[in-house]
Amino acid sequence: LTCGATDLVAESGDARLLEALERLWDHMTARQTYISGGVGPRHAGEAFGADFELPNARAYAETCAAIANVMWNWRMLSITGHARYADLMERALYNGALPGISLDGRAYFYENPLADDGTHRRQAWFDCACCPPNLARLLAALPGTFCSQSDAGIWVHLYAAGTMRLPRAEGQEVILSLDTRYPWDGRIEVEVQGEGDFGLFLRLPAWCTQSARVEINGQPFSGPVAPGSYVALQRVWRRGDQVRLHLPMPVRAFQSHPYVTENRGRVALMRGPLLYCAEAVDNPGFDLQDVHLPAGARFEGQFRSDLLGGVVALRTRAEIRPPDAAWTGELYRPAGATSRPTPGSPVDLVAIPYYAWANREPGRMQVWFTQAQAG
């Protein structure tokens, strides 16, 4: 598999096939994909639904479907070299497929809802046991998706600490040594062990909306650095050259399209490539359904080695606003009925990476939070 191989499509006469694939991809990502990268909301038929049909608690979002999303985007990336496929591949990997396996590797999710009352738990096995071996296959094949080559050079798509060995022309080998704590930290150091005139293409994720920085041997790189693309480092490389990539990781609040009616007036949280959720076990004493996040809420991110195998947990100040007392015993009432608003009670809200939920005691979980109106 190589990146930047669009000529292979043209030569084979399959350009129209690629156009069809891209139309399908555009439609799926704009109308039918969960923020987690999961797909397929319907349990019946394990199927896509109508456009913008993305329920949270009733989401199917099968683990295998997220794995298929990773695989499809890997193939689209390999054909086109377009960073948008690597972006979705990464999002579906961390937030769509990875939740399908427990932290101890002994239990699995078939479905991956984005809200739960504490009853949905991973199972040791399934009568239709597609997800466990499919996860094993994905994890085994994953190292092969971190980088690839083309005539232009070496392309790095995903980031993790480790070593990449890449054979080059005339029997030469280039070794890339990556030192990073990604996805907890946006600092990535790449040491080039090899020589030659070739390009090194590093993906700048689309989520990195703040200014990323690139340094080569301690000197700032002056070329184009744009999110959702690859930064092209073309030079004669010497053994021991070092590249440093700095990706800021602020917490970002997302809203969904207005046609996703369940999420109107609500926001979801992401940091780096990771989607976050809140679980009752971290937020005792109040109902997560009553949480209102203030607009412009400030988040404190802290790496917790004692939590869920080591994660960056988020903490922010929020308000609890339960329904007013007039709703007691009522399911409906006339529109415009007056009632005394319930004053908000300040609380500290703790959020964890979505992939790590349901690894402790059962309780409510949710990804989308009501956003408090200004004033």
Report whether 108 contacts 98 (CB < 8 A): no
C-alpha distances in Å from residue 312, one per residue of 93, 271, 309, 359 = 18, 9, 10, 16
Of all residues in the chain, what percent are helix, strand and coil, respectively (each to 5)? 25, 30, 45
Question: In a 3-state reduction of DSSP, which class is residue 323?
Answer: coil
Q: Please state, in angstroms and rounded to a whole number, the distance separating the CA atoms of residues 277 and 357.
A: 8
Catalytic residue among 11, 46, 173, 300: 46
Question: In a 3-state reduction of DSSP, which class is residue 73?
Answer: helix
Q: Please state, in angstroms and rounded to a whole number, the distance separating the CA atoms of residues 235 and 227.
A: 22
3 catalytic? Reply is: no
Name 318's Cβ contacts closer than 8 Å, sequence gap at least 6. 291, 292, 293, 294, 297, 346, 347, 348, 349, 369
277 catalytic? Reply is: no
Catalytic residue among 3, 22, 64, 130: 130
Task: List beta partners, residue 42.
Answer: 47
Q: Please state, in angstroms and rounded to a whole number, the distance separating the CA atoms of residues 28 and 21.
A: 11
Say how many CA atoms lie within 13 Å of 99 toward its Cβ.
30
CA-based diameter of the chain, in Å? Answer: 80
Element (H, E) at 68: helix 63-80
**What's the CA dihedral at 50, 53, 57, 62 to 10 degrees?**
50
User: Would you name the residues annotated as active-site residues?
Assistant: 46, 130
